Amino acid sequence: MSATVRAADVSVGTELPEQTYPVTRAGLVRYAGASGDFNPIHWNERVATEVGLPGVIAHGMLTMALAARAVTAWAGDPAALVEYHVRFGRPVVVPDDDTGARVTVRGRVGALSEDGRARVDLTVTSAGEKVLSLARATVQLA
């Protein structure tokens, strides 16, 4: 029950491996079912465009979950993430094709505390635009 990354091996500025995750329409349907968020803007093009969106968009919470994967994959332990805050900036538009959208997650250690916690500042983009305007994860390191 601990991270595989040791605080002693991390410093402010340490970069996490960049990760890219695909998001497809089928994936949105699956996430809707798993999370219980059935808002039609995440699966119905007609409703999405009626409310002024460019098309069907991913659940913000799915983008948040993908960004967390990049953090816990680096830390080596999903239980190491103790605090996590994001601000949703732009929607991830998911085209109706077999490729979908791609969400890219970059991370950098922005602060370290004496109790071995690292604050990871995340940059999360899709189609070259930042989709989370603020994303910070606090990880308990070994």
Partner 1 sequence: MALDPALVGRSYPPSALYEVSRQKIVEFAEAIGETDPVHRDAEAAHAAGHPDVIAPPTFAIALTLSAAGVVAEDPDVALDYSRVVHGEQRFTHHRPIRAGDRLVATPTIEAVRSVGGNDLLTTRVDVATEDGEPVCSATSMLVARGTA
User: How far apart are alpha carbons 86 and 92 in whole angstroms?
Assistant: 15
Closer of 111 and 134 to partner 1 (Cβ): 134
Sequence-ordered list of residues with C-beta below 8 angstroms from that of 50, at least 6 positions apart, any chain? none
Stretch that binds partner 1, among 7-15, 78-86, 108-116, 120-128 (CB under 8 A): 78-86
In the complex, least distance from residue 33 CB atom to partner 1, rounded to whole angstroms: 7
Q: Which residue has the tokens 């967390």?
A: 68
Stretch that binds partner 1, among 5-13, 56-64, 105-113, 114-122 (CB under 8 A): 56-64
Residues 93-112, interacting with partner 1 (CB under 8 A): none
Residue 84 belongs to what H/E stretch? strand 81-88
In the complex, least distance from residue 62 CB atom to partner 1, rounded to whole angstroms: 7
Pick one of 68, 94, 122, 131: the residue that binds partner 1 (CB under 8 A): 68
Residue 136 belongs to what H/E stretch? strand 132-140
Question: Does position 123 bind partner 1 by CB under 8 A?
Answer: no
User: How far apart are alpha carbons 54 and 110 in whole angstroms?
Assistant: 34
Question: Does position 45 bind partner 1 by CB under 8 A?
Answer: no
User: How far apart are alpha carbons 32 and 130 in whole angstroms?
Assistant: 23
Task: List the one residue out of 113, 93, 110, 134 whose CA is nearest residue 14.
Answer: 110
Pick one of 14, 45, 72, 108: the residue that binds partner 1 (CB under 8 A): 72
Sites of contact with partner 1 (CB under 8 A):
1-2, 21, 27, 30-31, 33-37, 51, 60-62, 64-66, 68-69, 72-73, 77-79, 81-88, 134
